[in-house]
Chain A
Amino acid sequence: MSKIIVVTGTSRGIGKAIVDELMELDPNVVVYGVARTEAALKQLATEYNGRFFYVAGDISQKSVQEELVSRIKKQHGYCDGLVANAGVLEPVAPVEEYDQEQWLTHFNINFFSIVSLVSQLLPQIEAARGNIVFVSSGASVKHYYGWSCYGAAKAALNSYAQALACEKPSIRSIAVAPGVVDTQMQVDIRDKFGPRSMTAESLKRFTDLQEQGQLLPPDVPGAVYAALVFKGIPKELNGAYIRLNDPRLAES
Chain B
Amino acid sequence: MVGKVIIVTGVSRGIGRSIVETIFKLAPETVVYGIARSEAPLKELKEIYGDKFFYVVGDITDESKLQQLTDDAIAGHGKIDSVVANAGVLEPVARIHDADISNWKKLYDINFFSIVSLVKTTLPYVSKANGNYVFVSSDASTMYFSNWGAYGSSKAALNHLALTIANEEKAIKCLAVAPGIVDTSMQVNIRENVGANMSKEHHEMFKDLKASNKLLHSNVPATVYSKLALNGIPEAINGTYISFDAPELKDYQM
Contacts and interface: CB of A to CB of B under 8 A. Distances in A.
Given A94-B168, A148-B116, A159-B152, A164 B159 contact: no
Interface of A: 94-98, 100, 103-104, 107, 111-112, 115-116, 118-119, 122-123, 140, 142-148, 151-160, 162-164, 166-168
B-side interface size class: 35 or more
Nearest to B118: A98
A160 B96 CA distance: 9
Contacts of B112: 152
Given A152-B160, A158-B156, A167 B149 contact: yes
Contacts of A145: 167-168
Contacts, number: 119
Given A104-B113, A112-B101, 7 more contacts: A100-B113, A103-B113, A123-B97, A152-B164, A158-B156, A163-B144, A164-B96
Nearest to B143: A162
A163 B116 contact: no
A96 B118 CA distance: 10
A112 B144 contact: no
Interface in B99-155: 99, 101, 104-105, 108, 112-113, 116-117, 119-120, 123-124, 141-142, 144, 146-149, 152-155
Interface of B: 63, 95-99, 101, 104-105, 108, 112-113, 116-117, 119-120, 123-124, 141-142, 144, 146-149, 152-161, 163-169, 239
B160 A96 contact: no
Nearest to B158: A152
Contacts of B96: 115, 118-119, 122, 163-164, 167-168
Given A100-B63, A148-B116, A119 B99 contact: yes
